[in-house]
Chains A and B, each alone.
Chain A
Amino acid sequence: MTGRHDPYVRLLRWYPKAWRDANGAVWVDTLREQSEAEGWSRPSRGEAVAAVVNGLGTRLDARAAAQLALGGIAVRAAVEVTMQIASPGGISVQDPALNGLVWIFLSAFAIPVFGGLVALSRSYGVLSPRRALAVLAAGAVGICLFAAAMWASAYGFQLADDNPALARVASAAIPLGAAALAIGATAGWLVVDGMLSRTRLRRLPRAALSLVAGVVLAGLAGYATMMTLGWVTVGVTVVGLSMRSLGGWSSVEPRVVVRSRLSLVRTLAGISAAISMLGIGYAVTAPAWSPLAENPTTAVVHAILVLLVGALPLVVALGLLAPRPRLHVWGPVALVLVAMAATFYGYTDAPLSTRIDSSVPIGSLALGLSLAWWVTARLATSRGDRLMAGIAITLACVVWHLAALLPVAVFVLPLVAGVLAVRGTLARREPIQAVRTAPVTDR
């Protein structure tokens, strides 16, 4: 290889660094030899185009998949926060301009997540570099057209009554939607055809299957764009699978707990089970006898508060069982407790719900950080990749309003706590070995 102004070396820059480091010198010298044999002093146009397409396609690897999906989730979280600040009560459907803009935002975050999905498929060998690039381009155009169709529909139809000129905007929704479906189906067809090309299916059934599946996939992509959390869920899945490709989980130590600690776990779980049974009993019977429970809704709210308190010993018990370094267990556990405290605060004035508006985002952030800490401490990837996964998980939990599930989740508490109190473990296949003197697994 010679200098960076060398036309052959310049083409190599389209490939990712890891690929260049592994194959660059051989690739450049082969390209030079090929061009010289054909009497050229520089790469032919065909070679240059092939290098650009394959280089960009090769860039769509597991790391790119995680980065793109994370970028999409970050955009979605930013939109969520902006919307909350700009319109605390939610965007009014009576405001056509804002309502239309939502679709632009939704597509802006769906495209990078879709890119992550394509990159992940490429890294799994489902798509060749060229095909991956074509799928990405077609899918991105399809999502943009879908967003334009939804915008035209949301903006145009609502204002058409007042301003007939806007009826044209509204009527553009149908051709735009049809174009989105056609181009999206092309992307889907390319994906399915790429998968079926590895089978010995005959050409005609393969084309028919690819076409039908392509239309279905395009429809699903459109549905995911309309669903608030559709692409966020896809994004988190892409980040998770990419991390698995990049390094997976670090090895798990055997579960060994000293006998005295196992007794403590069972005791804490028993306390939790008792309190939570009390809470559920209150929810069911309180309207009949309690002066505090004016109606069944109030009784349930009170029960949630009792159940949240009852969950505290269980969370501590689960922390005692975790076979990991102390910091990476109790850090996440402390954050779960913060989320529970926030939820408790939010429900103290329920069912008025004035405090829930602030308690849910805070609780979701705490749960997200807890989950991110727990997961990233156990990933066997580089620090940068772990940071990426942590940010993705945290943002996704905030966007998902995960803490809003806590008041529902506490109702399964008696079951979980009861099992732990009786068995001393929730593990199915690898029961905890209780030993008398062995050092505790926490490091």
Chain B
Amino acid sequence: MREDLRFLPAGDQAVVVELGDTIDPQTNRRVHGLMDAIEREEVPGVFDLVPTYRSILVYYDPMLTSLPELQARVSELYRDLEDHAVATPRTVEIPTLYGGEYGPDLEFVAEHAGLTPQEVIDIHSGTDYLVYMMGFSPGFPYLGGLSERLATPRLDTPRLEIPAGSVGIAESQTGVYPVASPGGWRLVGRSPVRMFDAEAEPPSRLAAGDYVRFVPIASETEYLKLQESAVKGIHAGDAAQ
């Protein structure tokens, strides 16, 4: 059963459109379906959209539309949204070298879970993760779907700099750092591909609504080879997938 939309005014140029109260793939899929519909139908006045777990922040120009008009149009699009017609999400592969200097916390995560490092790799790379939303920093994906067996507390003292492409675990979340930044996540691996490039269009390898699959890289040699081709840009090779 689908709930009605809730509209929460967010100032005079934005409105939160809530589709549900929970973090689950079905609600999130509707978020992306509704967002696609708003863009496809070019709803008048809308100038930016921020999809999140269970809502969309719709930015609108009140000189071009009114809030009641906008709400009516979005509600109409939601009523007509057919779950089966929502586009099939992409699955984006992120080649990842696990362990060693690339994943200095792999051993800790294994020990904490009572598993071998290879079992951690198998579980972590054996799941497709949903990009529920992006935020926190440019290109940062909020992923859902980490096996509870791999949940690991954060570091007590965050590292001052985590290299771009680092793949980590924090509590029951997993993610990949698009740019170098400080952070307290347990690092299990690193990807040689670029996740964010301000000059590219779109600037991010991932988009909200995608699925992500971490694909283990066999050796450092292969990592370096992939790193070299990654210099060509974040979308190089995408067409082949």
**Co-assembled chains A and B:** no
